Structure 1
Amino acid sequence: MAHIHFVECNTTHPGNFVIDVPMGYHWLLVITKTPALFWVNGDLKEYPSHSAILYRPQQKVYYRACADQFINDWIRFESNEPYITESPLPLGVPFALDDPDYCHKLLELLTIEHNFHRDYKASSIDCLLRTLFNKLLESYFHEPVTPQYYNLLKLRTAIQNDPGDYWTIAKMADDLGISPGYLQSIYKKTFKVTCMEDVINSRIRLAKEYLIHSTQSIADIASRCGYQNVEHFCRQFKQMTGYTPRKFQQQAKG
């Protein structure tokens, strides 16, 4: 189990903010929302926003703002769990997060659990910390993050959360301020799937849920999943699943 001493999210500091602890007391995880300067291997270096840095107990901690303000999430805690004490994550060296929004949500939940005394507080904190460290590991062993990566990640999350929206390559490229051809190239390179394949896969996945668990008509389901033409929906659904929507529904419910 772990014991949290303090955890905060979206903490905003002025431009003269400095943390200087020659020997830290506990484990400390800092996630930046803005660029910052960190003392790494005897030198002060600037690291971009969406960086994470983990300090072990008794390790020197020094970082400071490098602009008008510094914003970060952070958590100071104790733990003897092997997933923390034996983690292959670097200590005292920032690395890029590949899904900073996900990590931020976990820290928000850790903040809530820490500040409320609920029956399963300890086990909830342990589960959230384990998940957070899994995401940190995924980030650390992830390929280097490109300048457009975070914008692409937000786009993909939006597609999967709302596949029924009006998604076109031209609209997506315009939202990101890049050309349609460049969007298709970097999206496929980043996620190993094209942006329109992501749209179609997400729509068919949502359609399956409606077909199994709702009483809506095929036409209504097609509309909710972003299809303006029910015939087009039926053709695409069969192409992706091997069944017509009605046949899929009958087999699933049968």
Structure 2
Amino acid sequence: MTHIHYVESDRRHDSSFIIDVPIGYHWLLVITKTPARFWVNGKLKEYPAHSAVLYRPHQKVYYSACTNQFVNDWIRFETNEPYITESPLALGVPFSLNDPDYIDKLFKLLVIEHNYEQLYKASSISSLLRILFNKLLESHFHDNITSKHYKLLRLRNAIQSNPGEQWTVEKMAKQVMISPGYLQNLYKKTFGVSCMEEVINSRIKLAKEYLSHSSQSIAEIAEQCGYQNVEHFCRQFKKVTQKTPRQYQKLEY
């Protein structure tokens, strides 16, 4: 069971902000959105934005702003849940987040659930915390997280959310602010598929959904999935699925 004492999202402070509690709090999780200084292993060290740090009860807590503003999400809580108390996360040592936008959404939901007395409040908070700590573990064991990684991640989310957009390598490279050639190499190295393969896979995934659950024509589906030519859509669909759109549609029905 977990009891939240306080949780905040997007808390803003000026350049003089310092938290210094030698004997610690309860459990405390801090997520930075700006660079910050942390006391780690007897030294004051600066860490980049999008860092997370988990403190156990009665552990020394010290962190401060190191720019003209400090912005963070944070949660102070008590728990006896093994996925937290026995977590392999390093305690008191910041690490970079793999997907800070996802973490931010979870915190915003936790704030809502904590502040309002809903029928399934305890169950919802429990579920959100489990997801949050799963995402923290993914980040903790993820290497080479850089500012370019965050830009690529946002691009990938944009592609998967809007596969019907007219994506080109040049357009994607402009969004990430790197050259088209570098984008193609970096994207493949980061996600295991090229940026255009990501577009195609996302389009075919959406097309499968429309073919299975809508009464639209194949031409209409092709257009909604970003294809200006229905023949090109059919060729690409068959290349990926080994079936024509019509064959796939008949199987699903």
Is the structural similarity TM-score above 0.5?
Answer: yes
Is 1:70 equivalent to 2:70 in the alignment?
yes
Residue equivalent to 1:229: 229
Aligned positions, number: 253
- 2:24 and 2:61 in contact (8 A); partners too: yes
Percent of residue pairs bearing the same amino acid type:
70
Is 1:104 equivalent to 2:68 in the alignment?
no
**What is the Cα deviation at residue 25 of structure 1?**
2.5
- 2:51 and 2:95 in contact (8 A); partners too: yes
Cα deviation 1:30-51 (Å, max 9, x = unaligned): 0000000001111110000000
Residue equivalent to 2:79: 79
Counterpart secondary structure, 2:147: coil
Cα deviation 1:110-143 (Å, max 9, x = unaligned): 1111001111111111111011000000000112
Is 1:251 equivalent to 2:236 in the alignment?
no
User: Equivalents in 1 of 2:181, 2:162: separation in Å?
Assistant: 23
Cα deviation 1:4-50 (Å, max 9, x = unaligned): 00000011100100111111231000000000000111111000000
Residue equivalent to 1:214: 214
Counterpart secondary structure, 1:117: coil
Cα deviation 1:143-172 (Å, max 9, x = unaligned): 221331000000000000000001000111
Residue equivalent to 1:46: 46
Residue equivalent to 1:119: 119
**5+ residue gaps, structure 2:** none
Residue equivalent to 2:132: 132
Residue equivalent to 2:151: 151
Report which stretch shifted further, 139-148 or 3-12. Answer: 139-148
Is 1:90 equivalent to 2:117 in the alignment?
no
User: Equivalents in 1 of 2:147, 2:104: separation in Å?
Assistant: 20
User: Equivalents in 1 of 2:138, 2:87: separation in Å?
Assistant: 12
Q: TM-score, normalised by structure 2?
A: 0.99
- 2:36 and 2:48 in contact (8 A); partners too: yes
Counterpart secondary structure, 1:148: helix
User: Equivalents in 1 of 2:247, 2:152: separation in Å?
Assistant: 36
Is 1:2 equivalent to 2:2 in the alignment?
yes
Counterpart secondary structure, 2:159: helix
Which AA in structure 2 matches 1:30? V
- 2:9 and 2:107 in contact (8 A); partners too: yes
Moved over 2 A (4+): none
Which AA in structure 1 matches 2:35? P
Which AA in structure 2 matches 1:95? F
User: Equivalents in 2 of 1:126, 1:23: separation in Å?
Assistant: 27
Which AA in structure 2 matches 1:22? P
RMSD across aligned positions (CA) = 0.7
Cα deviation 1:194-238 (Å, max 9, x = unaligned): 000000000000000001111111111000000000000001001
Is 1:241 equivalent to 2:241 in the alignment?
yes
User: Equivalents in 2 of 1:170, 1:25: separation in Å?
Assistant: 50
- 2:25 and 2:76 in contact (8 A); partners too: no
**What is the Cα deviation at residue 177 of structure 1?**
1.5
Cα deviation 1:78-128 (Å, max 9, x = unaligned): 100000000000000000000011111111111111001111111111111
Residue equivalent to 2:21: 21
Within-5 A mapping of 1:26-41 = 26-41=26-41
Cα deviation 1:163-189 (Å, max 9, x = unaligned): 000100011111111111100011000
User: Equivalents in 1 of 2:66, 2:197: separation in Å?
Assistant: 41
